[in-house]
Structure 1
Amino acid sequence: MQSGSPKSTIKIVASRHLEQVLAHAENQLAATGARRPTEVLPLYKKFLKVEEHRLRLKHQAGHGGREICAHRADLVDVLLRYVFGAASTATRPEEASGAPLALIALGGYGRGELNPFSDIDVMLLHRQGAKKISPHLEEMVEQVLYLLWDSGFKVGHSTRSIKEAITQANRDMLTKTAMLESRFLAGDAELAREFREQFRSKCVEGHEREYVEMRMQDQVVRHKKFGDSVYLQEPHVKSGCGGLRDYQNLLWMTYF
């Protein structure tokens, strides 16, 4: 009997791994009740320690780097969804309906690729004005971020309204690139969908030439700094000529 394609096999393995992580989370994290995540930090740390040890064993057993990166992104997804849900329940839930908040993954994490020791880039999206968010949302944000910091993660984060996110994306190419690969994690799905629609209409459409030119200029600068030849004896595999960033550059430009 002919076996399935490598891609389908990877998907099956990934789904089995995610099922195991979800079962472990249900067993260990679901019982925290209405307590704030920071109040039961040891439970989250223990959950992470066990799951990251499993990933190391998988890697040592010969599983590929891309597979491990995808599994690690799945692990952090599960963790953040539990943290977000617990924080939402614990911080005056009666206010939540009037103050929607969405947790969005950005950059490489949004793409579903998370190396060990990589930053976790997230955006907390809200509908409120720029001057000051409500105490409920502020406490929600603190609960999510403090648990990540206390668990040893390096976190790149922002808290923005849709308008602020769009403005910043059109002001800064790196921010726009990170948002290209945004992915909804938890919270208000309608708010996240609205952001994606506005991002495409206001940051992508009509900005094609501008973005491609900036990405090509970035490539020139990188090659001057890290080597502009594929024949270097010690090439910079991420930022040098023909490296990972060149490949990602092509992917980012295809969004436009």
Structure 2
Amino acid sequence: MFRPAKAAPRPVEPAGGQGGGAVPRHIAIIMDGNGRWAKAKGLPRAAGHKQGAEAARKVLRAAGEAGVECLTLYAFSSENWRRSADEVGDLMGLLRFYLRSEIEALHKEGVRLKIIGDYKAFAPDIVKLIEEGVARTSSNRRMTLAIALNYGAQAELVQAARRLAERAAAGEIAPATIDEAVIGAELDTADLPPLDLLIRTSGEYRLSNFLLWQAAYAELLFVDTLWPDFGAEALAAAIAAYCGRERRFGGR
């Protein structure tokens, strides 16, 4: 599924402003529009999801070539269980297929697989495939591919708050010492670089319960392209737009 090329990272020139030309270390994408893509072509939604997986392959490769350290993809939200049983079944079948067929390719390319979200809610065989894939690639350092599965940012924050409350009740931590860094260390993304750029495809303008904490100072980019049509050129344009922005982090 994901086979980033081994080419050396290429610098991206800024389009203007004060971005400085630095490639974002961490890009996250809300991959939206598979269903509309399929409908526009008179195809079943499953075909849209399959083409969306191919788009993910292309984008991971392009991100690796550009020098991005981490790519986080919103693959299955905690709200997606509300979709029809047939569609959820198709998504689970696609997940099984790629977990079986692509982990070794990821490992050979030096890509670490990380999962964020409550993936243990999936069927036991999927959980086993996920954990085997994570273990197989755990020592890789070239790049991280983080896949959000059964993920919801609000649930992530609730779980972090509960863990900190339990530690405080046990006397392990003083409530007054809980700050942004302490909370961040309890999140699923604790070992990932700070989020620099968050992209949503398909023309929708919302975060849909994705990386709400992490996106506090990320650059946001909303594009009209449906996810199956988003590829290397679209990613390069997104990175160029990021490089052209002036990031002030509230300083002025």
TM-score by length of 2: 0.32
More strand by share: 2
Which structure shows the higher helix fraction? 1
Greater Rg by CA: 1
Higher normalized contact order (CA 8 Å, seq sep 6+, divided by chain length): 2
Q: Normalising by the residue count of structure 1, what TM-score does the alignment of the two structures yield?
A: 0.31
